[in-house]
Amino acid sequence: MIIRGGIVYDPANGIFGEEMDLCIDGGRIVEDAKGEVIDARGLLVMPGGVDAHTHIAGKKMNTGRIMRPDDARLGTELRSGVCRPSTGYTVPNCYAIGYRYARMGYTTAFEAATPIIEARHTHEELEEIPILDKGALTLFGNNWEVMECVHDKDIAKLAAYVAWGLRAARGYGIKIVNPGGGEAWGFGSNVKGLYDPVPNFDVTPAEIIHALAEANEMLRLPHSIHLHFNNLGKPGNYTTALETLEALEDIKPSRMRQAVHVTHMQFSAYGGTSWRDFESKASIIADYLNKHNHATMDMGQLLFGAATTMTADAPLEYGNARLTHNKWSNHDIELEESSGVVPMVYSRKMLVNAVQWAIGLELALLTEDPWKVLMTTDSPNGSPFVNYPEVITLLMSKPKRDSEMATLHGELSKRTSLGCIERELDWSEIAIMTRAAPARILGLEDKGHLGLGADGDVSIYNLSPHEVDASQEHATVKKALAAAKYTIKSGTVVCKDGKILATPRGKTYWVDAVAAQADMDRLMVDLQDKFERYYSVQMSNYAVQDVYVTNPRVVKAGLGAGPLKEAA
């Protein structure tokens, strides 16, 4: 396949809006190719979009679907052509997830939170999602074995457990959610801060995070720890955010990447002592990130309208349910985690919601280096992913932000600095925040760029980047981003003018890390005991079997895995 004459943005390879041809053969970018010619003359061309943090599969997602038939009705699209029927808006069915991401030019999405014991379910759903390449992060922050290793300061055994857990879950990396809080929730409480000990385990959240970061680097995992802070969603929590980031400054990354990725920072950049004096502390967070290089983040942008909050932070969800009097699902997971799901509507009329909306944008606009901040909505927590074009246009257009702010609460300008920010992101920065950076942060070498050998995932939009003024013509831009002219996945046109044409099966990435045998042996003694006495399943029935990952892409890490190739 040859893509002719597009205006290409490939920031990872230093290409910022140059007219050039792209060739794809055997599913990869190559020097020369024959076959189908795609006419992209003058149009915006980028690598396929990569979402490094989204909720698309597994128990939480399905719980959301089951408790929200109202939501299912919102997104109904008929079965037609190659497509099975779509339903849902904030909690779409598996098919809709694949089609809608592809329609926006996205080709890769990573599910953000899976307990090991429930990974089989996650993979059942991932397998059912068409088109996309995907992976799932694995939860470790409230796990008994983890906390016991941390307590014993046995990082080597912890690393062995992480390797074992990733393999059992066919998982991609270490996710940590409200460390210690999920365990405390087992008896209905929470941890109050980074140094508040976890009941019954005599460790602090700070120790859990730090030890997991050390284990992560000991195993040379492609991704860093992926962290959802303690106290998330609470007024005044920016201090927890800063404290936690500071506690990780000494972590030496084992690869050319961050030492910690902080997810949905919007929910952790809150000032004030209550919802009444609630205000943005985005500028302090952005300032910290500007001065330090060990951390990256994603926005977790909130948009007005319907959302479904779903997180392993179960006490937070209980709080959400109490606050909104909405229906509440909770799910505690033996020895490993807890979680919750609560439907939500963010209202323009609510000052708190307006401030939250502004914080996400502030974070992205005040952080100077776009490689440090990803565009996400923590879908469907801040808003479903189908609204990414709205977020991107807000980032690109000051007039759009101003006209939005004019409709919001008058107090808003006192609580945030968003109105004073002049910065408008350009296409290079957008390409970084939605393609190049998420791929680099995840450690996906063949994603997010268009260099030779990269995956043949390309999105082409019906938009001339040099002619359209995104600041003024934001409506045109939003329309173009919502329905790609072409989405090409591994060299196949999967979507044309917003219509799905093909639904190939995507790959599933997981990390196979090797730990020292002696540590593994010590670990097995612990695990045998845990399965004998505490788990409700046998060890032999626990790990995800190969049949659940039919198109695996195994990334090797750990001892003897050799130096990993870096993305350009």
Partner 1 sequence: MIVEDAICSFCGCLCDDINVEVEENKVKRVRHACRLGSSKIMGHERIRRPMVRKDGELKEVSYQQAYEQAAKILLAASKPLLYGWASTVCEAQKKGILLAEEVGGVLDSTATVCHGPSVIGIEEKGLPGATLGQVKNRADTIVFWGCNPAEAHPRHSLRYSSNACGRFTPEGRSAKKIIVVDVRETRTSKNADKLVIIQPGTDYEVISALRMLVAGKGDMVPEEVGGVAKSELASLSEMLLAAKFGAVFFGLGITHSRGRYKNIDNALSLVTDLNSHTKFVIMPMRGHYNVGGIGQALAWSSGYPMSVDFTRQAPYFNPGETAACDLLAKADTDAALIIAADPASNFPRTIVEELAKIPIIQIDPYENPTTLLADVVIPSAIAGVEAEGTAYRMDGLALRMRKLVNSSYPSDEEILDGILESVRSLRCSRSLQGGLKDDN
Residues of this chain that interact with partner 1 (CB under 8 A) are 57, 59, 61-63, 65-69, 71-72, 75-80, 84-88, 91-95, 117-118, 120-121, 124-125, 128, 144, 185-188, 200, 318, 321-322, 327-335, 341-342, 533-538, 540-541, 545, 547
Read off the tokens for 183: 């365990």
Q: Which stretch binds Zn ion (CB under 5 A): 21-29, 91-99, 106-114, 384-392?
A: 106-114
Residue 68's binding partner among Zn ion, partner 1, none (Cβ under 5 to 8 angstroms by kind) is: partner 1
37-39 and 44-47 strand pairing: unpaired
Stretch that binds Zn ion, among 82-90, 98-106, 200-208, 374-382 (CB under 5 A): 374-382
Return the number of the residue (199 or 319) whose C-beta is nearest Zn ion: 319
Q: Pick what 134 binds: partner 1, Zn ion, none; C-beta below 5 to 8 Å, kind-dependent.
A: none
Dihedral sign, Cα of residue 302, residue 412, residue 320, residue 265: positive
Using DSSP bridges, classify how beta strands 279-280 and 295-298 pair: parallel, antiparallel or unpaired. Answer: unpaired
Taking the complex as a whole, how short is the minimal distance between the CB of residue 263 and Zn ion, in angstroms?
6
Min. distance of Cβ 533 from partner 1 in angstroms?
A: 7
Report what 330 binds from partner 1, Zn ion, none; CB cut-off 5-8 Å by kind. Answer: partner 1
Chain centre to alpha carbon of residue 155: 26
Nearer to Zn ion by Cβ, of 311 and 459: the residue is: 311
Q: Long-range contact list for 536-541, CB < 8 A, 24+ apart? A: 536/334, 537/117
Please say which residue, 97 or 431, places its beta carbon nearer to partner 1: 97
- Residue 518 contact partner, candidates Zn ion, partner 1, none, CB within 5 to 8 A by sort of partner: none
Pick what 112 binds: Zn ion, partner 1, none; C-beta below 5 to 8 Å, kind-dependent: Zn ion
In whole angstroms, the minimum distance from the beta carbon of 61 to partner 1 comes to 8
3-state secondary structure 422-435: CCCCCHHHHHHHHH
Q: For 186-209, b where at least 16 C-beta lie within 10 A, e where not — what string?
A: beeebbebbebebeebebbbbbbb
Phi-psi region of 46 (alpha: psi -120 to 50; beta: other; left: phi over 0): beta
- Sole binder of Zn ion in the list 336, 378, 446, 457 (CB under 5 A): 378
Q: Which of the listed partners (Zn ion, partner 1, none) does 378 bind, with a CB threshold of 5 to 8 Å by partner kind? A: Zn ion
Q: Which DSSP state fits 412?
A: H
Residue 461's SS3 state is: strand
Phi, psi of 280 (to 5 degrees): -80, 135
Please, what is the minimum distance in Å from the beta carbon of residue 397 to partner 1?
Answer: 34
Question: Smallest gap, in angstroms, from Cβ of residue 58 to partner 1?
Answer: 9
Residue 567: Cβ within 10 Å count: 21
The distance of closest approach from Cβ of residue 196 to partner 1 in the complex, given in angstroms and rounded to an integer, is: 18
Task: Identify what 88 binds: partner 1, Zn ion, none; CB under 5 to 8 Å per kind.
Answer: partner 1
* Residue number with CB closer to partner 1 (321 or 421): 321
Instruction: Choose the one of Zn ion, partner 1, none that binds residue 318, judging by a C-beta under 5 to 8 angstroms depending on kind.
Output: partner 1
Q: Which is nearer to partner 1, 297 or 335 (CB)?
A: 335
Q: What angle do CA 310, 552, 515 make, to 5 degrees?
A: 85
Instruction: Select the binding partner of residue 321 from partner 1, Zn ion, none (C-beta < 5 to 8 A, by kind).
Output: partner 1
Residue 554 contact among Zn ion, partner 1, none, beta carbon within 5 to 8 Å by kind: none
Contact 120, 544 (CB under 8 A): yes
Amino acid at site 396: M
Judge whether 487 and 459 are in contact, CB under 8 Å.
Answer: yes
The CA distance from 457 to 135, in Å, is 16
112 part of the interface to Zn ion, by CB under 5 A: yes
Residue with smaller CB distance to partner 1, 202 or 277: 202
Residue number with CB closer to partner 1 (195 or 534): 534
Stretch in the footprint of Zn ion (CB under 5 A) among 129-137, 201-209, 377-385, 431-439: 377-385
Helix-, strand-, coil-residue percentages of the chain, each rounded to 5: 40, 25, 40
Q: In this structure, how many other beta carbons lie within 10 angstroms of the beta carbon of residue 405?
A: 18
Task: Report, in Å, the least distance between residue 415 CB and partner 1.
Answer: 30
Q: Which of 247, 233, 116, 119 has the alpha carbon at shortest distance from 181? A: 233
The four Cα atoms 182, 188, 190, 196 give a dihedral, to 10 degrees, of -100
CB 185 → partner 1: shortest distance, Å? 8
Residues of the shown chain interacting with Zn ion in the complex, contacts defined by CB under 5 A:
112, 378
